[in-house]
Amino acid sequence: MALFTTAVSAEQDLNTYLQSTNHVTLSLRFGLNIRASFKGFGNGLYYVPGSSSGNGRTTPFGDPYNYDDGYVLTTSSYTPNPDNSPNPTFTTYWGYDNQQLVSAGGQLIGSAGAYTGVALSRSTATGISASQSGSDGQSYPGFELAYDRELGKKENWHDMHFGLEGAVNYMKISVNENSASGASVSTLTDVYNFPITESSPPPTADSGGPSSIALTSSPVSSSISSASGSFLSQDQYNGDLWGFRLGPYVDFPMSKKWSLHLSGGLALGLLDDSEAWQQTLNNVPGIGSLTASGQGSDFKMLWGYYVSLDAAYQFNKRWGVEGGVQFEDIGKYNHTFSGREVNLDLSRSLFVQVGISYSF
């Protein structure tokens, strides 16, 4: 009889703290194993075969520049050929940046009052890494609010409780990446001629519209210069990640105050992010430096699954503390911001969390 009484008392003592398992938990959590990387060199920082140059600039008709400091084109919605031939000798669809003579650091060929042509340049750089990694080993703090609704318990399974768990969480992802590397820079300079000598400098490209002066549609001469330069890249990425979890849970009482909590199920993420970048290529022959920059924002929904394991300690029937780890896979995110691609790996995220719970 005494043994029976002791066993009943022990079971009642166990349930004193763990009987009410409907509870709300507010946790501080830290995201780990979240990796961000950056790819691409932006719009027209330097020439890559098959792409455009000119820092992403476009002509009044929307065509990309084909030089760093101007353009010479023969096809578009505008009819640029003075002789209307399919293979024109001259074009009026061109523009340039600097009205000074080449000898004074500009682009015009000839002499003051007797201009014979214009020089346009396109730079190529090699030896630069195609991507930069920006967040290895970094942790991101956040918080989570979780609600557990008990659906029943199995007394013959060590008094196991089971139910449904839902949670909402928030985490700020901020990555500032600065990198520098050497680069081999070569510049191709093409010279185009006017049909007749011009007495005054033609208007520059920013004056608007194609030129009224014709120019040879193909270069009459070309030259290449090379130098050792440097490449600087800066990225500032910020993302607000709102997460949602929903799935079943089980609680295993271990003693009067201790229990293990296991859950898993569907995970959703709403990512509201922005990126601002700037890249500079220094020591470009004939130019000095080329700078490109861009920015943008995006909003994306991600989804996957989670698995969570926590240990809980009850101070009394109402209040307790919890701590544990959570694995979450909501996939990989990538987006291009003005020519700069951001890759965010959220497929192997680990969260360490600790919080306070209220049972009812």
Q: Which of 171-180, 224-233, 307-316 has the lowest mean pLDDT?
A: 224-233
**pLDDT confidence of residue 287:** 64
Most confident of 15-24, 178-187, 243-252: 243-252
Q: Which of 38-52, 103-117, 285-299 has the lowest mean pLDDT?
A: 38-52
Q: Which of 156-165, 231-240, 347-356 has the lowest mean pLDDT?
A: 156-165
- Could you tell me which residue, 201 or 130, shows the higher pLDDT? 201
Confidence of residue 22 (pLDDT cuts 50, 70, 90): confident
**pLDDT confidence of residue 171:** 97
Helix (H) or strand (E) holding 60: none
* Token representation of residue 129: 């890494």
Confirm if 312 and 299 have CB atoms less than 8 A apart. Answer: no
**pLDDT confidence of residue 323:** 96
Break the chain into its structural domains and give their ranges: 2-40+130-180+232-359, 70-127+189-226
**pLDDT confidence of residue 300:** 96
Beta bridge partners of 264: 307
Confidence of residue 276 (pLDDT cuts 50, 70, 90): very high
Q: What is the DSSP string of 31-53?
A: EES-EEEEE---SSSS--TTS--
Q: Give dist(CA 195, CA 198) in Å, integer.
A: 9
Q: Give dist(CA 277, CA 297) in Å, integer.
A: 12
**pLDDT confidence of residue 357:** 94
* Token representation of residue 175: 């990555």
- How distant, in Å, are the alpha carbons of 130, 176, 316 from that of 343? 13, 14, 46
Question: Mean pLDDT throughout 164-177?
Answer: 95
**pLDDT confidence of residue 317:** 85
pLDDT at 12 over 60: no
Confirm if 107 and 117 have CB atoms less than 8 A apart. Answer: no
**pLDDT confidence of residue 205:** 85
Mean pLDDT estimate for the chain? 85
Question: Mean pLDDT throughout 254-267?
Answer: 92
Question: Mean pLDDT throughout 60-77?
Answer: 85
Most confident of 206-210, 273-277, 290-294: 273-277
Confidence of residue 211 (pLDDT cuts 50, 70, 90): confident
Most confident of 92-101, 132-141, 283-292: 92-101
Among 243, 244, 258, 247, smallest CA distance to 163 is for 247
Question: Mean pLDDT throughout 152-159?
Answer: 75
Q: What is the pLDDT of residues 282-322, one digit of tens each?
A: 877 666 777 778 899 999 999 999 999 999 999 888 899 99
**pLDDT confidence of residue 351:** 97
Looking at CATH, the fold of the domain delimited by 2-40+130-180+232-359 is given as Porin (2.40.160)
**pLDDT confidence of residue 43:** 47
Query: Which residues are CB-neighbours of 249 under 8 A, at least 6 positions away?
Result: 148, 162, 163, 164, 165, 261, 262, 263
* Token representation of residue 194: 């006017």
pTM score above 0.85: no
**pLDDT confidence of residue 5:** 38
Confidence of residue 20 (pLDDT cuts 50, 70, 90): low
Confirm if 113 and 88 have CB atoms less than 8 A apart. Answer: no
**Sole residue written with tokens 């996957």:** 304
Q: Which of 53-57, 97-101, 126-130, 193-197 has the lowest mean pLDDT?
A: 53-57
Show the CA angle centred on residue 140, arms to residues 138 and 144, nearest 5°.
155
Handedness of CA 38, 43, 46, 47 (dihedral sign): positive
**pLDDT confidence of residue 209:** 67
- How distant, in Å, are the alpha carbons of 38, 179, 184 from that of 128? 13, 11, 9
Of the chain, the percentage scoring pLDDT greater than 70 comes to 85
CB atoms within 10 A of CB 218: 14
Query: Parallel, antiparallel, or unpaired for β 221-253 and 258-284?
Result: antiparallel
